[in-house]
Amino acid sequence: MARKSDSPGTPAIDHEAIRELAKLLDETGLTEIAVERDGVSIRVARHSGGAVARGRSVEAAAPPTTVAATPLPVDPAQHPGVVASPMVGTAYLAPEPGARPFVEVGTLVKTGEPLMIIEAMKTMNQIPAPRAGTVIQILVDDGQPVEYGQPLMIIE
Amino acid sequence: MFDKILIANRGEIALRVLRACKELGIATVAVHSTADEDAMHVRLADESVCIGPPAAKDSYLNIPALLAACEITGADAVHPGYGFLSENARFAEILAEHNVHFIGPRPEHIRLMGDKIAAKRAAQELGIPVVPGSDGDVGSEAQAQRLAQEIGYPLMLKAAAGGGGRGMRVVSEPTQLGSALASARAEAKAAFGDDTLYLEKYLTRPRHIEIQVLGDGNGAAIHLGERDCSLQRRHQKIWEEGPSPALNSNTRDEIGETVAKAMRAIKYLGVGTVEFLYENGEFYFIEMNTRIQVEHPVTEMITDIDLILEQVRVAAGGALQMTQDGLKFYGHAIECRINAENPVSFRPSPGKIVHYHPPGGLGVRVDSAVYNGYTIPPYYDSLVGKLIVRGKTRSECLMRLRRALDEFVVDGVETTLPLFRALVQEKEVIDGQYHIHWLEEFLARGGLPG
C-alpha cells in the first residue's frame, strides 16, 4: 500500500522504492516498513491471512457437530486433556516449512499420531498424541521455543 | 564479555552466580527442574527454562536439555556452579562444539585433576608436595620394609583397586608390616579381584588446608590464600575459616607460591582449589578441585575479591586484575554451612520454612536461596544457606559469629544451627586447635546434648 504525499508538485509514484520495500519486507519477515524522505512517505505492510484460530474462547474452536466441549479452565495446564512438552526445544507445527500442519483444531487423532515436532540441536523429535481424541486447542505458535512441561495442546 | 549466561545449577550457588551476572550487566537464564519453579534465582533471572522433572539426572545433569535451553535462549556462556556438571569435561567439550563458552577450566585440566592418581603424579611433577608413598605396587616384603623405613610409621596399605574406605589397613610398626602385607593382599584379591597394593604415609591428626587459585589461561596465576576446612563430618565440610589458625604468613606465602607457580606452568584457566592435609608443619597434596567451591565466600570476605566475577572475566578472555604482591588480606572470616538436618542425628529435614530471619549487621553475610514460605525440596542437598562472618581478628570474628547464630531463625524444618551454637563455645574451636577427626570425636562423646 503506498500513499501519495499531500504537498503540491508531488513527484511521480516511486515504483522502484515500493518494490524495494516490498522485497525487503519478504526477506526480513517484517510485517510493515515505513520510509519518509523529502516529504514523501511510503508505507508497505503485510496483512497475515488465514491465521490458525488459537482462540481463548471455546465456542470459536469447537466444531458444531461434536458434543458440547468441556469449558476450558483459565489455566490450560490444568486441563485433563493437556499435552505437556517432554523436552526443551523449538516447536514446529508442520513436518517442514510450507507443508500442512500435522494437526489443526478439530482434527481427530489416534494414540501415537504425531502432533508436532520439537527441534533441539538440529534433531527433530516427533511428539506423539498420548491419547486418542479431538484437538481442541493448540497452545504454541510455529517456531516458538518451549520448555519442559509447557502445555502444547489440549486433546479431548 | 558474554551477553547472556545460562546458570546450570540451583539453590544458593545459582543465586550467587546470578548476582555476579547482574552486577556485570550480563543477561541471565535460569534453568530449573519442575521442583525448583519457585526458586529465588528463577524469579530474579531475566529468563527461565524448565528443563525436566525433579530427578537430577533428568534435569540438572541432562546435557541435551541444557544444550537445548542454550539454543532457544541464545545463551553464549554457561556457568556450571559446583557439583552437577561443574567438573564434567565432556560437558565442557560439548558446549564448545556448540559455540557456547563453559565458565571453567579447560577440559584437559578438568580431566587431569579428576583422575586422582594422575592428579597426584601431576602435582608431584609440578613440585607440589604429595603424601609420600610407593610408586605403584609396593612389591615384596623386603621392598616394602625399605620403603617403610624411608617414609616412617604409621603408614597405610591401600588396595589400588579399592576405594570408599575399603581395602585400607594401618600399619603402626615394622613388626606388623609382613603380616599386614600378606593379609591385605589376600583381602584385596578376594574383594576386588586385584591384589595390587600401594603404600602411603598415614597422617593421624592432620588439618585440611586448601589454597584458592585463579589463573587467566595464559600463564598468569595467583593464589588467594588458604581456607582451613578441618571440621568435617563424614568427609563433609561444615565449618571453614580463613586464614588457618595453624599457619603463619611465611608458611602461607610458601605453599601459596608453590601452588601458584604450578598453575602458571600449566596455564590454568579459571578458579580452582588445591587441597592438602597438613601435619607437623608439612603439606601433603590430596586433590585439586577445578571449579568454584562452596566455601569460596571465606576467601572473598578476607580479600574483597568477587571470585565469581573473576571467573566470568577470565573465561571471557580477560586478564587478571591483580598481582600476587598487590593482593592483601584483611582480618578473618568463618563460614558455617547450615543444613536442614536434625543437629544430632543429621537426618534430613526437608519441608516448608514457615519463618525465616537471617542475621545481619556489620561483617555478616548470608548466602542462601531460602525465603519465608519456601519449601525445601527433598530431591537435592539439604543446604539451607551459608552464614559467613568476618572480623578484624579471629576473636572478633568468633564473637560476631556467636551473635549472628543466636539471631538466625529458621522455623518449620530442623537445622544444624544448634550444632554451630555449641561449637562456638568449645575451647578447642575457640583456640583453633582441631583436626579432621575432631568433629566426629566431639559428636561421638555426645558433644551436642540430644
CATH 3.40.50.20 describes domain B4-103: yes
Q: Is the ipTM of this complex over 0.95?
A: no
Please give the helix or strand (H or E) that residue B428 lies within, else none.
helix B427-430
Contact B123, B213 (CB under 8 A): no
In a mutational test of the B interface, the residue from A75, A88, A119 whose CB has the highest number of chain B CBs within 10 Å is A88
How high is the mean pLDDT in each 10-residue block of chain B (450 residues)?
98 98 98 97 98 97 97 98 96 98 98 85 95 85 92 87 70 92 88 84 95 98 98 93 96 97 98 96 94 98 98 97 95 98 93 97 97 95 96 98 98 97 97 97 84
Q: Domain ranges in chain B?
A: 4-103, 141-201, 207-444
Give per-residue pLDDT as tens, A102-142.
Answer: 999 999 999 999 999 999 988 999 999 999 999 999 999 99
Contact A93, A105 (CB under 8 A): no
Q: Which fold has domain B141-201?
A: Dna Ligase; domain 1 (3.30.1490)
| Beta-carbon separation of A120 and B68 below 8 A | yes
**Who has greater pLDDT, B326 or A29?**
B326
CA distance linking residue B81 with residue B69, whole number of Å: 17
Phi, psi of A120 (to 5 degrees): -140, 125
| Beta-carbon separation of A147 and B69 below 8 A | yes
User: What pTM does this model have?
Assistant: 0.82
Phi, psi of B237 (to 5 degrees): -75, 140
**From the centroid of its chain, how far is CA B327?**
22
CA distance linking residue B130 with residue B287, whole number of Å: 10
Which of A121, A148, A149 comes nearest B71 by C-beta?
A121
Q: Residue A95: its pLDDT value, please?
A: 93
pLDDT at A59 > cutoff 90: no
Q: Which amino acid is at B385?
A: G
Provide the CB-side half-sphere exposure for A54 (13 A, CA).
Answer: 12
- Domains B4-103 and B141-201 are alike in CATH topology: no
With a pLDDT cut of 70, the percent of chain A lying above it is 74
In a mutational test of the A interface, the residue from B4, B71, B91 whose CB has the highest number of chain A CBs within 10 Å is B71
The CATH code belonging to domain B207-444 is 3.30.470.20
| Residue of B291, B313, B337, B400 marked catalytic | B291
pLDDT at A7 > cutoff 50: no
CA distance linking residue B38 with residue B369, whole number of Å: 10
User: Quick check: is B291 catalytic?
Assistant: yes
CA distances (Å), origin A144, targets A91, A139, A150, B185, B363? 5, 10, 11, 62, 47
Average pLDDT over residues A51-58: 37
**CA torsion, ordered B402, B403, B406, B409, to nearest 10 deg:** -120
Q: Which domains does chain A have, with CATH numbers?
A: 1-49 (no CATH), 58-155 (2.40.50.100)
